[in-house]
């Protein structure tokens, strides 16, 4: 976002807030609004657009609480406090640490510990895992072997919870321990054998046993997927946790939301886009056809990243480093065609598809990486919600027929 888009003049801010300039200055003196000097113009102040928008939304809430609350469920004002993830200035942070830095220098288990406890050193939660006996795992693997990766995870959770009585202990440390077990269980379900830290090694062994060097790339991809604020699956997770359900049930419900075509299920559409791109050499024509038929291009655009999704950029960079040039070149042509026609940049879904194709992984790898990584975030949101101890129960705005007297 450019400086002119991020900041407003005093007059612009006053107009947006529908107040006079003196009232605007009083907002600043009362610390309701922050202003800062403009370089080279000592008598001129500027105002952060986001701060002004927050004040506008606060005024709307006071004048019409029902409408403002409803708006908050659709990319409006934040509706829940959280210390987990921040999206700011085109960057993504986990507990104040840039996700790209974490992807480059941390283990997946350390990032899980960071989101769950605020301390990367707490990854010892993964050291021991005796909740599900191996004999039970072996029988489960046989029964779910033909399912897709997300379906395997959905199937194994309700079967495994019966052997983990500690799942009903909802204190933070206990949930983190249960979360570590759930992660190992889901990696095991996808891999088809018991997984142990470092968890990405199970995926390497399953998908590319002859290319162990890609483990660091898979680890980074999982970290990039770990959390993303209050998306639909994370909100689902928090609603379930607010009912005091176990972490197993939280993750199971979140997976159901994740599987939808407007969330993790987008990966199937992006894969289809790549397949069509191989058949039709003209990517611009393909993108135009998608726009005419569906009104959008899968894998492009994100409201929180108007200048481009940093997660996608990192995944594409990893694809260039570790993958096949042919796939990266095809992705480049799709990006150029889509940006020329829509102005949108690739998002996480596109980045995962490029990453998986370039590294020679299966077509199921993007959604599997996404789901396994995001499980960390669902558990982190559950821990926060358990501590809050409030039932999430919004009211509906009734629009049906009036009852008869």
Phi, psi of 384 (to 5 degrees): -60, -40
Is residue 119 within 8 Å of residue 113, measured between CB atoms?
Answer: yes
Q: How many CB atoms lie within 10 A of CB 174?
A: 16
Element (H, E) at 325: helix 325-342
Nearest to 345 by CA among 330, 356, 334, 329: 334
Q: What torsion do the CA atoms of 382, 386, 387, 392 make, to the nearest 10 degrees?
A: 100
CB 256 within 8 A of CB 403: no
- The 3-state DSSP class for residue 399 equals coil
- Whether the bond into 198 is cis, omega within 30 of 0: yes
> What's CA 383's distance to the chain center, in Å?
17
Q: Which of 227, 309, 349, 381 is catalytic?
A: 349
Cα 145 from chain centroid? 27
Compute the distance between CA of residue 50 and CA of residue 5 in angstroms, rounded to an integer.
Answer: 10
- Separation between Cα atoms, residue 23 and residue 27, nearest integer Å: 6
Residue from 181, 228, 263, 381 carrying the catalytic annotation: 263
Residue bearing tokens 């707490």? 122
Q: What whole-number distance in Å separates Cα of residue 373 and Cα of residue 360?
A: 19
Is residue 278 packed enough to be buried (19+ CB in 10 Å), middle (13-18) or exposed (0-12)?
A: exposed
CB 49 within 8 A of CB 7: yes
Active site residue 302: yes
263 is catalytic: yes
Q: Taking the CA atoms of 395, 401, 402 and 405 in sequence, report the sign of the dihedral they define.
A: negative
Distances in whole angstroms, Cα of residue 92 to Cα of each of 112, 183, 227, 368: 16, 23, 9, 21
Examine the residue annotation and report whether 388 is marked as an active-site residue of this protein.
no
Of 302, 309, 344, 381, the active-site residue reads 302
Q: Which residues are catalytic?
A: 263, 302, 349
């Amino acid at each position: 976002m450019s400086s002119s888009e991020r900041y407003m003049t005093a007059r612009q801010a006053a107009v947006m807030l529908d107040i006079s300039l003196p009232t605007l200055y009083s907002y600043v003196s009362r610390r309701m609004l922050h202003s800062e000097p403009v370089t080279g113009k000592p008598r001129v102040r500027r105002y952060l657009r986001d701060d002004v928008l927050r004040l506008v939304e606060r005024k709307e809430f006071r004048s019409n609480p029902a409408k403002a609350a409803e708006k908050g469920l659709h990319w409006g004002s934040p509706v829940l406090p959280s210390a987990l993830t921040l999206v700011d200035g085109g960057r993504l942070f986990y507990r104040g640490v840039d996700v790209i830095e974490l992807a480059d220098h941390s283990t997946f288990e350390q990032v899980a510990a960071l989101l769950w406890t605020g301390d990367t050193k707490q990854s010892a939660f993964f050291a021991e895992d005796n909740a599900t006996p191996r004999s039970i795992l072996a029988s489960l693997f046989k029964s779910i072997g033909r399912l897709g990766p997300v379906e395997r995870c959905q199937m194994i959770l309700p079967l495994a919870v019966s052997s983990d009585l500690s799942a009903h202990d909802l204190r933070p440390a206990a949930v983190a321990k249960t979360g570590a077990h759930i992660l190992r269980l889901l990696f095991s379900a996808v891999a088809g054998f018991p997984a142990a830290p470092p968890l990405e090694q199970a995926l390497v062994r399953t998908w590319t046993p002859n290319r162990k060097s890609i483990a660091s790339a898979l680890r980074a991809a999982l970290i990039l997927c770990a959390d993303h604020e209050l998306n639909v699956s994370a909100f689902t997770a928090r609603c379930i946790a607010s009912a005091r359900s176990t972490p197993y049930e939280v993750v199971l419900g979140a997976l159901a939301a994740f599987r939808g075509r407007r969330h993790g299920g987008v990966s199937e559409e992006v894969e289809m886009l790549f397949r069509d791109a191989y058949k039709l050499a003209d990517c611009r024509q393909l993108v135009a056809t998608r726009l005419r038929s569906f009104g959008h291009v899968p894998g492009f655009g994100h409201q929180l990243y108007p200048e481009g999704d940093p997660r996608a950029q990192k995944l594409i960079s990893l694809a260039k480093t570790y993958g096949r040039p042919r796939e990266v070149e095809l992705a480049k042509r799709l990006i150029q065609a889509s940006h020329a026609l829509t102005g949108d940049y690739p998002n996480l879904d596109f980045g995962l598809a490029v990453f998986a194709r370039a590294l020679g992984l299966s077509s199921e790898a993007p959604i599997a990486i996404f789901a396994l990584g995001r499980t960390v975030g669902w558990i982190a949101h559950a821990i926060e919600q358990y501590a809050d101890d409030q039932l999430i129960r919004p009211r509906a705005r009734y629009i049906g027929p009036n009852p008869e007297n």
